[in-house]
Chains A and B, each alone.
Chain A
């Protein structure tokens, strides 16, 4: 085993990080309007997925109902913007609504685990969807809400015009960076370690005196807040919100993005969000059957590369970075069947 050269490793990491930051900064001037819009949606998907992976990758719970919180954020932000044009207020209200929703739905959902948890979140998510779909007076029914204003971002000392796509994009980038930073603090805190302990063995964690449900609920709410944040951005960006955002198939987007990037790596969901959008853009150039391509990618990933792109690429360049194997791998052998249900 060769002696690690931390200096080299740090320098390479720094170069990679700076390169990524430069790449993010250069999207609007180099690529133009439509790619900038596309990149903005990618950043939002990244926020959604980063939050989602706290629950999936770190806590071991697969939710099929996170579209509900995305939709809550989107609709509440839209309602606020329709009534009073203040972006900050709209975003705060959207995130707050998603948080309250996640608290209620999460409180009930974390009573179950494994498949039962997935089914519960699916049921609650679809309840929200059916409300959004049918409560025409408030949500606009299947038409959704349209004509949402996109106010300037008023920071007190300066006002930023978000009707310029590059401004909106940079604003989203700042939010994503802040979200990543916060999540990094969360997963590396004692709280984050407890979540991983629960994922690896619920029984042991409970034996150590950890209130498992309360921790799961906290993870659920945080990931719901992230979903709501991503959703709140969609209202001023698209200037319309539709019930699709609440449908369970929409919940699959962060699932697939996270899987694509890698559930075991902190930045996997971000990489995955970028790859997810890129894949779609490239495939739809050639064929309208992009779901077919996505489906095949999903099957190949699950059967062969469950660590996602980050861990595959990490396996190649890892030695260069002075890293060995991935730090942890999602547990493979499930608990004996029949558990989880009967408790």
Chain B
């Protein structure tokens, strides 16, 4: 294993990490503000992917337009979910919240089978992003660079919005103490619905971006949500910065894992999750 190979594999892990980041970001945001750990968050990624596939791969829309439409649709879906299903759930025990969102996973996965079913073809990479650039003597796809850039951009924008704007302040207030925030005149129920829609859109964005390079199937939701759980646990539940670092860690680790220790790659990641939960449940990067 040469140094070049290691760096190259790290870059591949980095682009994988960005999909994970987009899902974990939404999961973390929703948990931090709404207090609901959403099993169905991976399914929102899946819906975004399928929608983008239909628009771009089947109906021939422009890639950018497809992504925007898919993301907006998933956002609306998220808003509807929050209003209809999550709202009556906030006062329930967390166990019931987990079970309800698990029920949603089952529904989404069968709906995907019902609507999209069958075999799946990966559509071509959009023309703008075709081709490769030489990295250390090997060729690295331009599309991966685009995804890495987009993921980092999303992280930056989220950080700015949350830290610097009135909206961010509102969201942080609702996350810190929803009763006090409501008492000070914030419309908490509107904050909740918008935050959840935004969280859903992040997952949808990840799904939509994945469409030219990654396979999506009705099982994607369950496969992805466990990885997102691992990441959010490692980074600290509700901690966005932690989720970003956690995504990089898990993404890069799986890229090296398949190369260096293919047998126990998964075991090591779950072990990491368990150790963090036991030793530092507020997350590796918790305050």
Chain A residues proximal to chain B, CB less than 8 Å: 56, 60, 62, 64, 108, 111-112, 114-116, 118-120, 122-124, 126-127, 130-131, 133-134, 248-249, 252, 255-256, 259, 289-292, 294-299, 302-303, 306, 330-334, 337, 341-342
Contact = CB atoms under 8 A, between A and B. Distances in A.
A292 B111 contact: yes
A59 to B, nearest CB: 11
Contacts of A119: 229, 233, 273, 277
Contacts of B226: 122, 126, 248
- Looking at A62, A259, A299, the one whose CB has the most chain B CB atoms below 10 A away is A299
A119 B263 CA distance: 23
B278 A108 contact: yes
Contact of B267 (A64, A127, A306): A127
Contact of B114 (A289, A295, A341): A289
Given A108-B278, A290-B110, A292-B106, 8 more contacts: A116-B281, A118-B95, A120-B274, A123-B274, A126-B266, A294-B106, A302-B92, A334-B91
Interface string B260-272: 0001101100110
A298 B99 contact: yes
Contact of B104 (A114, A295, A333): A295
Looking at chain A's contact residues, is the secondary structure mostly helix, strand, loop, or mixed?
Answer: helix
Interface of B: 35, 37, 85, 88-89, 91-96, 98-100, 102-111, 113-114, 222, 226, 229-230, 233, 237, 263-264, 266-267, 270-271, 273-274, 277-278, 281-282
B277 A116 contact: yes
A119 B270 CA distance: 10
Closest 6 CB pairs of A and B: A298-B103, A295-B106, A295-B107, A292-B110, A62-B95, A130-B266
B106 to A, nearest CB: 3
Contacts of B99: 62, 255-256, 259, 298, 302
B179 to A, nearest CB: 10
Contacts of B104: 295, 299
Contacts of B95: 56, 60, 62, 114, 118
Contacts of B37: 115
B125 to A, nearest CB: 31
Contacts of B114: 289, 292
A115 to B, nearest CB: 5
Q: Binding site of B, secondary structure by majority: helix, strand, loop or mixed?
A: helix
Contacts of A130: 264, 266-267, 270
Contacts of A330: 93
B100 A302 contact: yes
Nearest to B36: A115
Contact of A333 (B89, B91, B233, B237): B91
Contact of A134 (B88, B100, B267, B274): B267
Contact of B278 (A120, A122, A131): A120
Given A302-B96, A303-B89, A332-B92, A123 B107 contact: no
Contacts of A115: 37, 94, 98, 237
A111 B107 CA distance: 33
Contacts of A127: 267, 270-271, 274
B104 to A, nearest CB: 7
Which of A62, A119, A122 lies at the interface centre, i.e. has the most chain B CB atoms within 10 A of its CB?
A119
A323 B155 CA distance: 57
B282 A341 contact: yes
B85 A134 contact: no
Given A127-B274, A289-B113, A334-B93, A341 B281 contact: yes
Contacts of A297: 103
6 contacts: A112-B277, A122-B229, A123-B273, A126-B266, A291-B107, A333-B91
B185 to A, nearest CB: 22
Contacts of A114: 94-95
* Residue among A290, A291, A333 having the largest count of chain B Cβ atoms under 10 Å: A291
Contacts of A298: 99-100, 102-103, 106
Nearest to B102: A252
Contacts of A290: 110
A60 B88 CA distance: 21
B100 A291 contact: no
B91 to A, nearest CB: 6
A269 to B, nearest CB: 14
A294 to B, nearest CB: 6
B89 A62 contact: no
A120 B222 CA distance: 17
B93 A331 contact: yes
B93 to A, nearest CB: 6
A245 B73 CA distance: 36
Contacts of B100: 298-299, 302-303
Nearest to B263: A134
Contacts of B96: 302, 306
Contacts of B105: 295
A302 B99 CA distance: 8
A215 B281 CA distance: 22
A249 B102 CA distance: 9
A70 B227 CA distance: 23
A118, A134, A295, A337: most-surrounded residue (chain B CB, <10 A): A295
